[in-house]
Amino acid sequence: MTECRRFRIGYALALKERQSLMQPSLANLAKERGIDLVPIDIACPLSEQGPFDCVLHKLYGDDWKANLIDYAVKNPLVPIIDQPDAIERLHNRISMLQVVSELGISQEKETFGIPKQVVVYDSIALSDSGEVGSLRFPVIAKPVVANGSVESHTMSLVYRHEGLLKLKPPLVLQEFVNHGGVIFKVYVVGDYVKCVKRRSLPDVSSETLNCSEGSLSFSHVSNMTMPDGTPEKYYENMYLEETEMPPMSFVTNIAMGLKRAMRLHLFNFDVIRDSKAVNHYLVIDINYFPGYAKLPSYEMVLTDFFWSIVHKSKTEDDIEDSAVGGDKDDKLLIGSHYDGT
């Protein structure tokens, strides 16, 4: 009896992601499906390791990018999840949300968009009444760089214009929209889409806007505190489980549109519902390769994704091998820009 072929997925992750994601439960389930998850030694050239049927990574930097490019040239039929140039778009909050505005998705009962935002490159612009003056307060001030570092998560809720003068550009200033203190986090793994709800920044009343200090800094909602104790009082009276979820078909359409436009397989995006227009949603952030271990049954979700990637790649490889007079350039395209669609 012929032994079934096994597939090898090489993964290159930072220590934190590796410890969170690569649990024995995931490795064992993948192994049962004929897939071996193999750690990549980032100190050695990738082209000298393997063989791999897929490369999974969440590492950045010029050295790693050069390593990947060298490997892709030498192994053009091996899918790389995901391409560095596609990931880099999400490292900049200026370009990050532009893709949302470019989606050609039908909007009927439910509509979506992004908050009004401006980019400020220097302190002089913060005091200017031009573009900054066109924003309605409060605003969220976010670093332009969104690379997962501590600094990229440091944000401020700014109540009045004078609060901006304490901040250090470059910054993206995004109008804050009251959304009932609930954020919807949409996780995408290939064609799999899961929407969950989490608590978010409390709504800002006109009274709070007039009485609060200029700005409030925070990194995550869970560790945010306000002088008047607003979050505690707010969340005591808020029932997260009673918050209505957005229609799944609506969320899935956005997710698949983003997947195609960004050429990414692994990401999540944050959505809020405008309290003043209950059928209007705003995409406020997009993140590459989020913490999937927080999802229920994440092992099954990822294993199904791995299986689909290696088997589709194998099928396309077989078709190319059997094609008469096949174009060599087409084979290179499959490997270096594999999008799984």
Instruction: List, as residue ranges, the binding site.
Output: 58, 93, 142, 153, 174-185, 200, 270, 285, 287, 291
Apex CA 82: angle with CA 78 and CA 84, to 5°?
110
CA atoms within 13 A on the CB side of 160: 10
Name the phi and psi angles at 182, rounded to 5: -130, 135
Residue carrying structure tokens 């791999």: 52
Structure token pair of residue 295:
């999802």
For the annotated binding site for ATP, the residues are: 93, 142, 174-185, 200
For the annotated binding site for 1D-myo-inositol 1,3,4-trisphosphate, the residues are: 58, 153, 185, 287, 291
For the annotated binding site for Mg(2+), the residues are: 270, 285, 287
How many Å apart are CA 168 and CA 223, to the nearest integer? Answer: 22
Contacts of 62 (CB under 8 A, 6+ apart): none
